Amino acid sequence: MILAIQENLVEGSSLTEKLDLALAAGFDALELRDATRAGQIVKGRAPTVCPELGGWLGDFDATARRRAIEELREQLDAIVELGGHGVITPAAWGMYTRRLPPFVQPARTPQQDREVLLEGLAELGAYAEGAGGVLLFEPLNRYEDHMVNTVAQAADLIAEAGSPGVRVLADTYHMNIEEDGLCAALRSVADVLGAVHLSDSNRHQPGTGHVDFEAVIATLREIGFDGVVSVECRLRGEPGAAVRACGEYLRALL
């Protein structure tokens, strides 16, 4: 497995400095926020990118959806050029939730949501295959997205979209809210698991909450997963010390 950390969590005024600090803390690589602006300094040390987009794959607005798809295509090209492979996106974030007030009806039915997502996943999956990369589709918890909340839901959409260019990104924070059991859920999507985000139950760095990361890592080994596990979280404590402690904790498990 490749152990990465999102670049925004590491101190430093440049990607060069951030990468050096991440390596010193025990990580293998950085997960980028924008592969199109990264530069060759991280080539071979940036397997994935988790970009901010001008829309969402499942956006209610068709123009915003198209913009998100085009930006994801650009990120796919850029991360492959850097020697990486994966671009991460959820269906949406913060666009609508059925779990918090005001409890108004969304702009689409669940079937219409599904049709929109299938169309985008099929297009991006085909593009990813041609580019030599993969789209990593991330379920979010019920308070952040109303469309895709579990890894099983993501895997079901991927199967119907029919492209090996799309795989599941499993995030332990969201899984801790939505899944009956993290390890059982990971086993259930072993054949389409593309990457894992590591964050503890409190959304802080691994080792500060109650997620059993020893069991999670053991399960990933059991199912033969050899991809990227990357830290995406908020940091508790002094940032530099928190990153070093997190790297040491996870490196010991790996």
pLDDT in tens, 129-146: 999 999 999 999 999 999
pLDDT at 48 over 90: yes
Q: Please enumerate in sequence order all residues whose Cβ is within 8 A of that of 114, keeping only pairs 6 or more positions apart, or say none.
A: 147, 157
Domain region containing 140: 2-253
Mean pLDDT of 35-39: 95
Mean pLDDT of 27-46: 96
Between 105-114, 137-146, 237-246, the lowest mean confidence (pLDDT) is in 105-114
Q: What confidence tier does 98 reach under pLDDT thresholds 50, 70, 90?
A: confident
Count of alpha carbons within 13 angstroms of residue 201, beta-carbon side: 10
Here the CATH number for the domain that contains residue 207 is 3.20.20.150
Residue 84's alpha-carbon distances to 65, 137, 140, 146, 163, in angstroms, are: 25, 16, 24, 30, 19
pLDDT at 249 over 90: yes
Residue 218 is predicted with a pLDDT of: 98
Catalytic residues: 138, 232
Residue 105 is predicted with a pLDDT of: 81
Mean pLDDT of 123-128: 98
pLDDT at 102 over 90: no
Residue 122's alpha-carbon distances to 157, 162, 163, in angstroms, are: 10, 7, 6
pLDDT at 107 over 90: no
What's the domain count of the chain? 1
Encode pLDDT of 156-195 as tens digits. 999 999 999 999 999 999 999 999 999 999 999 999 999 9
Q: What confidence tier does 104 reach under pLDDT thresholds 50, 70, 90?
A: confident
Mean pLDDT of 207-224: 98
Residues 113 and 147 sit within 8 Å (Cβ to Cβ): yes
pTM of the model: 0.97
